[in-house]
Amino acid sequence: MPNRPTPDPNPTPPTSGAAAHDAEGGDAACWLPQVCPDCGALNENPAAPCWRCGVTRSPGDA
């Protein structure tokens, strides 16, 4: 039976490149306009009232 290396129990996440981008969870900023400013719910249609709290956004809100 060959000797296999023991996996590191505390691996260091990558700090650059595509692997680092994946480790961070991707680019979440693209969802920001769809997040309700009052309750944090994710709305599919940012122009519609929030499905959770009912707040409506002004046209200039981003």
- Domains of the chain, by residue range, sit at 31-62
> What residues of the chain score a pLDDT lower than 50?
none
Positive or negative, the Cα torsion across 42, 48, 53, 58?
A: positive
Write down the pLDDT at residue 19: 59
CA atoms of 16 and 4, how far apart (whole Å): 28
Q: 3-state class of 46 per DSSP?
A: coil
Position 26 scores a pLDDT of 67
What pLDDT was estimated at residue 52?
95
Contacts (Cβ under 8 Å, ≥6 apart) of 34: 42, 43, 44, 46
- Joined together, the tokens standing for residue 57 give 């956004």
